[in-house]
Amino acid sequence: MKKNKFRSNKALSRREMLTGMAGLGALSMVPPAFAQAAQAAAAQAAANGKVLVILELSGGNDGLNTVVPYGDDAYYRQRPNIGIPKNELRVIDDHFGFNPGMAGFERLYKDGKMAIVHGCGYENPSYSHFTSMAYWHTAAPNSGNEYGWVGKLADEIAPSAPPNYLVNIAARQSLAVRSAKHVPVVFDDPNRFMREAFAAEKDALNAVPEIGESENSSRSFLLDIARSANDASALVRDAWTKYDSPIDYGVNDLDLQKVVALLDAGMPTGLYYVAYRNNAFDTHVFQNNLHRRLLTYTSDAVAGFIQDLERIGRADDVALMIFSEFGRRVPENVSLGTDHGAANAMFVVGNQVKGGHYGELPSLTELAEGDNLAYTTDFRKVYQSMTQGWLGHSDSNKLLGGNFGTFDLFS
């Protein structure tokens, strides 16, 4: 039933796409040689061939009602009305259970493919979505940086800035991927990643831009961007046209299907950045049904993603890191929701991940200022676990502003 619904949606979007492309005719199709070149480039993109995908849960996910510490009575004392009873949870051990909506996470955890890192946060937490998210985006808490940490990571791993190394699927570029050297491929709907042109203009507009031999380095840069736009938009649209998966991602794929489509098409991308958008997790009022639904969508999409990676034979090459800009306050509020908080759980998912709990559990009785969980793990330690442990990039000092150590997350 679900599968049928999914297929019909997909069929519709492809039909729309074909309509959209009709005006562009053969020009929009990627020549096979192009795709082969992309495949070849893929091999050299990341030093160790690993791919990192980052999923942002915007709005401040309530970690305590995501991975519920049912074994701690203090949880139920703090949340007499919105605390989830043990018999409704998806129990994973003698202390924790996932939110009832998270069948996908339960399966991934039980298959040993999910690491849960507890108590992630930073000193002097900001309760502003905007400020805290900027801290996470730049890996610079209580400070800031004009470049994002994923952008800086790309600069350090691939300083020659090969095209299409960094992909951000979003309506607008995230601060996280802002880079000094790389041109992040930013797109939302692959079918709209194109020039809006009148029929008469199509040949002229799609002409391959000249090679920038100019003394003007800005002009050379823009000509590179123009070529990248021509290449990437064609690659992305072609990858999306070819993508046809039987895997069910649920109601909202969180753009993870596009990641698989690009991986399968051989895009030479080492870093992908996607988000559950629009502050969705900001659950101040009557949160339980809404939060459960948000988590169901997230869990379905992540589980579908891992399955889909298996299908295309890339599951061993990809790790997914999931974060939110803050957790929520420990006690429930009077509106049966929760307000902006501090420390939170992060998740790392993938075939090569050593599943289990990591980090020290924050106390539910000895709370930090404002009834919040005191953080036990600097979130940059998880970043470093990904850059060092997964991507094999050893130096974190410039990237993260220090050496935070790593968790041994990967086999």
Query: Which positions lie near another protein, rule CB under 8 A?
Result: 124, 128, 130-131, 134, 142-147, 172-173, 175, 178-180, 183-187, 193-198, 200-201, 204-205, 207, 209-210, 215-219, 221-223, 225-226, 228-229, 232-233, 251-252, 280, 283-287, 289-290, 293-294, 333-335, 337, 339
- For another protein, the closer CB: 60 or 389: 60
- For another protein, the closer CB: 159 or 313: 159
Alpha carbons 35 and 306: distance in angstroms, whole number: 24
Find the shortest distance in angstroms from Cβ 332 to another protein.
12
Find the shortest distance in angstroms from Cβ 260 to another protein.
20
Alpha carbons 73 and 103: distance in angstroms, whole number: 24
- For another protein, the closer CB: 19 or 48: 19
Alpha carbons 92 and 94: distance in angstroms, whole number: 7
The sign one gets for the Cα dihedral 106, 277, 361, 89 is: negative
Find the shortest distance in angstroms from Cβ 253 to another protein.
12
Crossing angle, helix 217-242 and helix 32-45, to 10 degrees?
Answer: 110
Return the DSSP state at 126. Answer: -
Find the shortest distance in angstroms from Cβ 148 to another protein.
10
- For another protein, the closer CB: 184 or 304: 184
Q: Report yes or no: 249 and 10 within 8 Å, Cβ to Cβ.
A: no
- For another protein, the closer CB: 288 or 396: 288
The sign one gets for the Cα dihedral 398, 410, 249, 251 is: negative
- For another protein, the closer CB: 18 or 180: 180
Q: Report yes or no: 378 and 351 within 8 Å, Cβ to Cβ.
A: no
- For another protein, the closer CB: 90 or 291: 291
Find the shortest distance in angstroms from Cβ 290 to another protein.
4
Find the shortest distance in angstroms from Cβ 211 to another protein.
9
Alpha carbons 227 and 8: distance in angstroms, whole number: 35
- For another protein, the closer CB: 173 or 352: 173
Nearest to 348 by CA among 50, 69, 128: 50
Cα angle: 50, vertex 410, 350; to 5 degrees: 65
Find the shortest distance in angstroms from Cβ 23 to another protein.
14
Find the shortest distance in angstroms from Cβ 345 to another protein.
22
- For another protein, the closer CB: 33 or 130: 130
Q: Report yes or no: 388 and 144 within 8 Å, Cβ to Cβ.
A: no
Find the shortest distance in angstroms from Cβ 236 to another protein.
9
What residue has token string 């009305």?
81
Alpha carbons 169 and 229: distance in angstroms, whole number: 15
- For another protein, the closer CB: 134 or 348: 134
Q: Report yes or no: 185 and 236 within 8 Å, Cβ to Cβ.
A: yes
The sign one gets for the Cα dihedral 236, 240, 246, 247 is: positive
Alpha carbons 270 and 281: distance in angstroms, whole number: 28
Find the shortest distance in angstroms from Cβ 214 to another protein.
8
The sign one gets for the Cα dihedral 155, 160, 163, 165 is: negative
Tokens linked to 72: 């701690």
